[in-house]
Amino acid sequence: MNHKIYLKTNTDINATSEVLSWLEQINQPPFNNQTIWWELQTLLVEGFINIVEHAHKKLPRETPIELEVMRLKEDIEIRIWSWGEPFELEKQLQITSALEDNDQERGRGLQIMSSIADKLSYKLTDDNRYCLFISKHYC
């Protein structure tokens, strides 16, 4: 069973609820493990918020963010495309405090995604956008 959904939205933190509602489509049939479903929601929201607040920080609200989620036989793949500045994900993960040592209100999103996801990357695409790729095994 492969199921793919796609959404294009503006750079707007208020679109977070729309993004979460959109994700509901991928939960059919519902995941057997509720924890997996919560983790997928967390991964998507953290990724989206990071794009809005960091990658698109200096860009107009009308700048599009494209999201794609694929439910494969045993994995979920999330792709979020942005027009932001270059960003070295691995380097940032190394210099950001571990979750248990980070009591700041901000700055934990990447560590949260890294701890939940099975694969996490942020790479330049052929059309000069960046793609945040997140993969989570659910079976």
Across residues 75-96, what is the average pLDDT? 84
From its phi and psi, is residue 116 left (phi > 0), alpha (psi between -120 and 50) or beta?
Answer: alpha
Name the residue type at position 40.
L
Q: What is the pLDDT of residue 56?
A: 95
In sequence order, what are the residues at sequence separation of 6 or more whose Cβ sits closer than 8 angstroms to the Cβ of residue 91?
none
In sequence order, what are the residues at sequence separation of 6 or more whose Cβ sits closer than 8 angstroms to the Cβ of residue 18?
7, 9
Name the residue type at position 104.
Q
* CB distance 76 to 136 below 8 Å: yes
| Burial environment of residue 79 by CB neighbours within 10 A (0 to 12, 13 to 18, 19 or more) | middle
Q: What is the pLDDT of residue 98?
A: 55
Across residues 105-123, what is the average pLDDT? 84
Structure confidence at residue 100 as a pLDDT band (50, 70, 90): very low
Which residue from 115, 2, 128, 113 is spatially nearest to 68, judged by alpha carbons? 2
Q: Kindly report, residue by residue over 29-61, the tens digit of the pLDDT.
A: 999 999 999 999 999 999 999 999 999 999 999
pTM: 0.89
Euclidean distance between CA atoms 107 and 96, whole angstroms: 8
Output the furthest CA–CA distance in the chain (Å, rounded): 41
In terms of pLDDT, which residue wins out, 133 or 99?
A: 133
Q: What is the mean pLDDT of the chain?
A: 89
